[in-house]
Amino acid sequence: MAIRSLVVGTLFVAVFVAIILSIAWIDKSQPTHEPSPLAPAPERPIPTPMP
């Protein structure tokens, strides 16, 4: 019966460490805020056709 407790405890610690490592693994160099896809595009001049 002590083996089951040891296995459950080990799995709990392993899951806890995996969660901590996954949080720390996030790449901080990427911007966390991206522009909304529904935001209006910045205005660009309309090209005039050549005569």
List pLDDT tens digits, range 5-23.
999 999 999 999 998 888 7
CA distance 50 to 35: 35
CA distance 46 to 48: 6
Residue 2 tokens read as: 């002590």
Express each pLDDT in 21-51 by its tens digit.
887 777 666 666 666 667 666 677 777 777 6
* Nearest CA among 13, 10, 45 for reference residue 2: 10
pTM summary value = 0.47
Residue 38 tokens read as: 């529904």
